[in-house]
């Protein structure tokens, strides 16, 4: 595999428990319209899910979310979306595609993954869920899973990450190309680079990372040698970006 293929494969690989069940799903702020629609359709068909938490303020994904919405679902976009949080926009898209009656909780103030986890946790003053489904941009899913586990004080097995279709990168020639060509439009090139390289940096346990030796936002992660080597090779593609 090429260097970027190694990184994308690592970031988007998650464990699936076929027997997992929960009445709660958390949809974290992201820019992917297809992911939001897939979440809505999943919840529509999973009657055991009784409450949805939309979490996400205005952050790095808000502008890409609006741009993708205007391109992919222009009939739903409203002028007031320009001032809404990611959580509020996702809720409106979700509600259009999932008409089933479910309890909806909104957390529109968090601006990063740590706040997503803490603020969504704090919505539950009583009867906090002991396990839940978690949906996030596949490139950010691994760190999101670790962060929610730490902030909610739950084992990783109590949180089931949902990736409805694993992105399979087949080439990078100045822009990413996926086996499912619809995914070629999921991330603009700069944003793809920012997320992919930024996530590998954050997952590391050193002074620049989010592990115990860095900011301590997540537990220690042993990154495979091939992932670290590919990360070193790919850093040349993006410099001066705050997410790197």
pLDDT in tens, 132-191: 999 999 999 999 999 999 999 999 999 999 999 999 999 999 999 999 999 999 999 999
Q: What is the pTM of this model?
A: 0.95
Indicate whether 17 belongs to any domain.
no
Q: Given this model, what pLDDT does residue 189 score?
A: 93
**Same-domain check for residues 123 and 206:** no
Residue 243 has pLDDT above 90, yes or no: no
**Same-domain check for residues 180 and 143:** no
Confidence of residue 237 (pLDDT cuts 50, 70, 90): confident
Rounded CA gap, 2 and 171, in Å? 8
**Same-domain check for residues 28 and 98:** yes
Decide: residue 44, CB within 10 A, 0-12 exposed, 13-18 middle, 19+ buried.
Answer: middle
**Same-domain check for residues 154 and 58:** yes
**Same-domain check for residues 121 and 207:** no
Residues near 55 by Cβ (< 8 Å), separated by ≥ 6? Answer: 26, 27, 28, 29, 87, 107, 110, 116, 119, 120
**Same-domain check for residues 108 and 193:** no
Predicted confidence (pLDDT) per residue in 182-223, tens digit: 999 999 999 999 999 999 999 999 999 999 999 999 999 999
Q: Which of 123, 141, 161 is the C-terminal boundary of a domain?
A: 161
What average pLDDT is seen over the chain?
A: 95
**Same-domain check for residues 67 and 179:** no
Domain residue limits at 67:
22-161
Residues near 14 by Cβ (< 8 Å), separated by ≥ 6? Answer: 141, 142, 145, 161, 163
Residue 1 has pLDDT above 90, yes or no: no
Q: Which candidate, 121, 123, 117, 111, places its Cα nearest to that of 85? A: 111
Q: Given this model, what pLDDT does residue 239 score?
A: 66
Q: Given this model, what pLDDT does residue 241 score?
A: 58
Helix axes 33-45, 86-97, angle to 10 degrees: 50
Indicate whether 55 belongs to any domain.
yes
Confidence of residue 125 (pLDDT cuts 50, 70, 90): confident
Indicate whether 177 belongs to any domain.
yes
Confidence of residue 60 (pLDDT cuts 50, 70, 90): confident
What percentage of the chain has pLDDT greater than the value 70?
97
CATH number of domain containing 201: 1.10.3620.10
Number of domains in the chain: 2
**Same-domain check for residues 172 and 156:** no
Q: Which of 127, 146, 161 is the C-terminal boundary of a domain?
A: 161
């Amino acid at each position: 595999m090429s260097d970027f293929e190694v990184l994308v494969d690592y970031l988007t690989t998650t464990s699936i428990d076929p027997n997992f069940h929960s009445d709660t799903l958390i949809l974290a702020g992201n820019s992917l319209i297809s992911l939001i629609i897939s979440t809505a359709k999943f919840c529509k068909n999973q009657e055991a899910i009784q409450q949805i938490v939309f979490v996400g303020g205005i952050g790095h994904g808000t502008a890409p979310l609006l741009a993708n919405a205007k391109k992919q679902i222009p009939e739903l976009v409203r002028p007031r979306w320009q001032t809404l949080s990611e959580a509020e926009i996702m809720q409106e898209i979700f509600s259009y595609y999932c008409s089933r009656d479910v309890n909806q909780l909104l957390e529109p103030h968090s601006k990063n993954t740590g706040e997503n986890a803490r603020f969504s946790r704090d919505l539950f003053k009583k009867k906090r869920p002991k396990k839940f489904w978690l949906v996030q941009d596949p490139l950010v899913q691994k760190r999101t899973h670790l962060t929610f586990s730490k902030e909610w004080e739950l084992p990783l097995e109590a949180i089931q990450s949902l990736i409805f279709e694993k992105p399979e990168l087949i080439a990078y020639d100045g822009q990413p190309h996926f086996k499912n060509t619809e995914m070629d439009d999921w991330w603009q090139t700069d944003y793809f680079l920012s997320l992919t390289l930024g996530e590998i940096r954050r997952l590391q346990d050193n002074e620049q990372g989010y592990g115990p030796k860095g900011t301590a936002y997540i537990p220690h992660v042993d990154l495979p040698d091939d992932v670290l080597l590919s990360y070193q090779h790919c850093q040349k593609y993006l410099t001066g970006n705050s997410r790197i």
